[in-house]
Amino acid sequence: MTKDKKIYWVTTILATVLIVTPALFYFSEYMINSMENKMGFPAFFRIELAIGKYIGAFIMLIPSVPKMLKEWVYVAFGITLISGGIAHFIFDGIGLGLVPAIPFLVLCISYYYFKKSYYEK
């Protein structure tokens, strides 16, 4: 395995863990209160977001999934993180608004090495 592929897999696993871990808590009382009452999102959105994150993680971590489908997951995760950062910035301030920037940065590194490993020859 080349150095680029190793960096790709490490950053992909790290990004996936950072993105999916909050979805494990989407059904806790705190998250229900935060997303529905504080931020005003409908109840189905929290469930939809959790399911989407689980499906995206599955697609990202299975090597035999087509490259184009993985690229769509990168886009979806990127939009999710940017939207989450904006929502947290509006409702919780700049401190929590910057938290999604960490997994977004790791996701960008993963994508760079994804392109480098799978497209450039």
CA dihedral 91, 93, 94, 95 (to 10 degrees): -110
What type of residue sits at position 5? K
Mean pLDDT estimate for the chain: 93
Q: Which pair of tokens denotes residue 62?
A: 């299975």
**Structural domain total, the chain:** 1
17: left (phi over 0), alpha (psi -120 to 50) or beta: alpha
41-61, pLDDT tens digit by residue? 999 999 999 999 999 999 999
Decide if 73 contacts 56 (C-beta within 8 A): yes
Range of the domain at 50: 3-118
Task: Report CA torsion sign: 37, 56, 83, 88.
Answer: positive
Helix (H, G, I), strand (E, B) or coil at 66: coil
Q: What is the pLDDT of residue 1?
A: 79
pTM of structure: 0.90
- 119 pLDDT above the threshold of 90: no
